[in-house]
A and B are shown apart, each in its own frame.
Chain A
Amino acid sequence: MKKGKFTLVENTALVPGMHRLTFSGDGSGIVPGQFAEVAVPGYFLRRPFSVAGFDGGSLTLAVRVRGEGTAALAALAPGAELDIVTGLGNGFDLSAAGERPLLIGGGSGVGVLWPLCRALAADGASVTAALGFNSGTESFYVSDFAALGARTEVYTADGSRGRRGLVTAALGDFEYSSVYACGAAPMLQIIDREAGAKAQFSLEARMGCGFGACMGCTVETVNGPRRVCKDGPVFRGGELIW
């Protein structure tokens, strides 16, 4: 966990309500699946976002506009300097990937899988990325996954891009040694049921601090109460009580 100043370099509206914010600053020491807490000027609590890209000198966040704080963040122009805490949460366990990891992302949950895909591909795994959206016009990040050499399949609810149907169909469409998923709770529940211990989920939660102090984001697990921000955001299949 590190706290530092970051300068907004690029703010791109990927699709309506979904922005990719790229910052310059210390993006080192981050594990795929970890998140960042952004101090949004004018708001008290930091806002948590999954990290959709990082390297030694940059940090990329995928920001869905949900309320006033996220709207204010998405409205910032390049040059804005923000205070961001990085390296939060446990991150994905890459050692469990095996040869054929399947990445399943739904909507805004797609972003956090990109640095994971990059790391797994660098490890020599044969990665499949299944990316689910409501429609083709809401899809984003697809070419970024393809650019990493991952087999990339799009699923849309209305069939306007890629395969028609729920992205969880990927569990039947592809062989996999492991599943890494981020998206809405109903999607994760299906994956939990079908992939069990092979699955890892990144959860989303309304947080206070983001580092385990306030107990604001607790969920029930088979091992007792766990904090999404500190004990997660990545949980194993079979661990969560939905």
Chain B
Amino acid sequence: MVNTAVNLCGVELENPVIPASGAFGYGREFAEIYDINCLGAFAIKGTTAYPRFGNPTPRIADAPGGMLNSVGLQNPGVEDVVNVELPALAKVYSKKVLANVCGFSIGEYVSVAERLDAEDIVGWIELNVSCPNVHGGGMSFGACCEGAAAVTREVKRVTKKPVIVKLTPNVTDIVPIARACADAGADGLSLINTVLAMRIDPAARRPVLANVTGGLSGGAVFPIALRMVYQVYEAVDIPIVGMGGVSTARDVIEMMLAGATAVGVGAANLTNPFAAKEIIEALPAEMEKYGITNLVDIIGGAHNG
């Protein structure tokens, strides 16, 4: 009998598998096809103060081993999330969510986080300072130490819930930014968000995405994400939610060996709606295969000393 439980910033998870923000909506599409209480937790769609349509379409493109999206934070706004989405979710889901918060100013991050902090179903605040598809928000905060630290510090003032800062890979060195967030009081880090990328339609001689660029996710980015989780683990002492291209139970184990306490699953949910459930079901056998009894024992296990 293996033990898959982990503890993410003081909250016990039955298993480390967490569908990632943007790939799981507010849960209801998946609750229609399986019991999502099998999840460790999940991260809701990035939520802003006011409703957003997002970017013009096309905003999805295929790529070798992955996909591009330039959705641009479409969401119904925090009031609708609190009044409609979360109550609907609570009817089918008894665990906690990571409330993914995004903004175009520090004030917006603070007000959205404060509103979501009051919800019982919210176990963690995930600060999205890494969306590559909006201008003047998201990644513009998370691409520098000062911005990431400032958002972290101000949001920490308004919530007692653990604050997990979601980092972008679109920087020269992710480590100083991870450190700056930890120093500013972050309780955890999640990484990576998508990798800035593009496709061009040779017939039209134009970018495929209306937004020109988008974020690459899927198996193609897994080794990049793994490397960054490994680097950040060496630099900080707070828990890491490792994500980026995870699509199998083996990927979960690799991520945890690199230093992740919990593991996000993103694009895999979109190509196989049952992906997160199947990964969770496959995890015990995969652990046995590698002689793992307690999953927590392998966190950071790939590091020397």
Contact = CB atoms under 8 A, between A and B. Distances in A.
B223 interface: no
A39 B71 CA distance: 22
Nearest to B27: A213
A46 B272 CA distance: 9
A207 B69 CA distance: 10
Contacts of B30: 213
A159 interface: no
B208 to A, nearest CB: 9
A212 B25 contact: yes
Contact of A216 (B32, B71, B269): B71
8 contacts: A1-B33, A3-B272, A3-B273, A44-B67, A206-B58, A209-B270, A213-B29, A213-B270
A212 B25 CA distance: 8
B274 interface: yes
A141 interface: no
Contacts of A206: 57-58, 60-61
A215 B29 CA distance: 12
A85 interface: yes
B45 A44 contact: no
Interface string B207-219: 0000000000011
Interface residues of A, number: 27
Contact of B60 (A1, A39, A217, A219): A217
Contacts of A1: 32-33, 273
Given A39-B271, A44-B62, A44-B63, A205 B23 contact: no
Contacts of A238: none
B66 to A, nearest CB: 6
A1 B273 CA distance: 10
Interface string A203-231: 00111110111111111100011000010
Contacts of B24: 213
Interface string A31-55: 0000000010001111000000000
Interface string A143-156: 00000000000000
Interface of B: 22-25, 29-30, 32-33, 45, 51, 53-54, 57-67, 69, 71, 74, 218-219, 267, 269-274
B65 A44 contact: yes
A69 interface: yes
A207 B272 CA distance: 14
Given A69-B62, A209-B270, A218 B23 contact: no
A215 B45 contact: yes
A72 to B, nearest CB: 11
A208 B69 contact: yes
B246 to A, nearest CB: 14
Contact of A207 (B29, B60, B63, B64): B60
Contacts, number: 83
Given A44-B66, A206-B58, A214 B23 contact: yes
B60 A43 contact: no
Given A213-B25, A215-B74, 7 more contacts: A44-B65, A44-B218, A44-B271, A217-B60, A218-B54, A219-B57, A225-B54
A3 B269 CA distance: 13
B62 A43 contact: yes
Nearest to A229: B29
A85 B32 CA distance: 14
Contacts of B74: 215, 218, 225
A213 B71 CA distance: 11
A211 to B, nearest CB: 5
A45 B74 CA distance: 20
Contacts of B66: 44
Nearest to B55: A218
A14 B244 CA distance: 42
Contacts of B64: 44
A208 B57 contact: no
B33 A214 contact: no
Contact of A85 (B22, B57, B273): B273
A3 B62 contact: no
Given A44-B271, A45-B271, A206-B57, A214 B63 contact: no
Contacts of A85: 273
Given A44-B67, A225-B74, A212 B60 contact: no
A208 B60 contact: yes
Nearest to B24: A213
A46 B268 CA distance: 11
A98 B106 CA distance: 56
Contacts of A207: 60
A214 B61 CA distance: 12
Contacts of A220: 53
A215 B51 CA distance: 14
B69 A218 contact: no
A84 to B, nearest CB: 12
A212 B29 contact: yes
Contacts of A216: 57, 59-60, 69, 71
